[in-house]
Structure 1
């Protein structure tokens, strides 16, 4: 009886442990945690679309007929911008009185019709300017007026949704000013405060 019992116990033990050896050894599977990236929030930019009015105060200096002339400039303006996303396009009409004069010439005022095109940097708008300029001036005791051109650069910064501050550097050119025999040039740098609507 001992002879039968021992092989029977061995066979039973083998039968119970055989399934453990069937597939071979494999490493236990450790479940990795799923990492979900944080949602990317869009950068909120400023919408520059809309109209605006404002005032400017600055300084100017001249050349040609206005050689050695430099003094204050001040004025008002109004315009409209359209924001295409990264690109902003707009137009502006500006009137500036000036104190620029020398011994022979006096620039009374500048009226400028400007095209503005710029890059929307969120709260800041950096832009270039091209356009037409109209000026009244006295040269050698006679009054003249003429149309020329203006170009330059500028920047606006949104302080609130309805108020911006900025600056513009503009070059105003008048060739053969109203057949006076003189060219007239003036550079203006103005600080600006705008109210948008």
Structure 2
């Protein structure tokens, strides 16, 4: 009996030993390592600055008079409307602004100020930096005078329609009416506008 089981046991042992390496490995190829592609940051969206807008400005105005009249300063609220043309990297525009600052030169006071301005600036995408110049027709109790103004501003598009900005202007007035009193004024204002 032992003679029948011994060859069978040897054959079984050999077949198991030979089959073990075949079962241990697989003929399927190993999975490829994933390729990691670095993410490319999205480019800052180019702002479209062309079109019409309306808005409000609020700031500070400091007036220095000549001819011995007293100086004054005040906060200043204004309303504005304008139109801009976007040429790609440069932007040109026109704007009209109206305000009634609470300014007094002794017993005299400023009734209203109009600002009619041209703008030219550089488009940084959602930010626009610009220079501005124009005229400022002003009515006072001393008389009327149209002065000139120059300034700098920056606007930022919070959304495609809403814009937050800041502007600094220098004004020069030769003489109000025939009073012999002239003045120069500096304004610094924060602006909010809605683009159409």
- TM surpasses 0.5: yes
How is 1:21-170 mapped onto 2 (pairs within 5 angstroms)? 43-65=44-66, 67-139=70-142, 144-170=143-169
Number of residues of Structure 1 aligned to a counterpart in Structure 2: 158
Q: Distance in 2 between matches of 1:153 and 1:39?
A: 35
> What are the ranges of 5 or more consecutive residues in structure 2 without an aligned counterpart?
1-38
Structure 1 residue 137 displacement after superposition:
1.1
In the other structure, the counterpart of 1:172 is 171
In the other structure, the counterpart of 2:189 is 190
Where 2:141 maps in the other structure, the secondary structure is strand
RMSD across aligned positions (CA): 2.1
Q: Distance in 1 between matches of 2:181 and 2:82?
A: 32
Alpha-carbon deviations, 1:62-100, whole Å to 9, x = none?
Answer: 011564301111110000011111110000011011012
Runs of at least 4 residues off by over 3 Å: 38-43
Where 1:45 maps in the other structure, the secondary structure is coil
Structure 1 residue 186 displacement after superposition:
1.6
Q: Distance in 1 between matches of 2:116 and 2:43?
A: 36
Q: Is the 8 A contact 1:61 1:100 kept in 2?
A: no
What is the TM-score normalised by the length of structure 1?
0.74
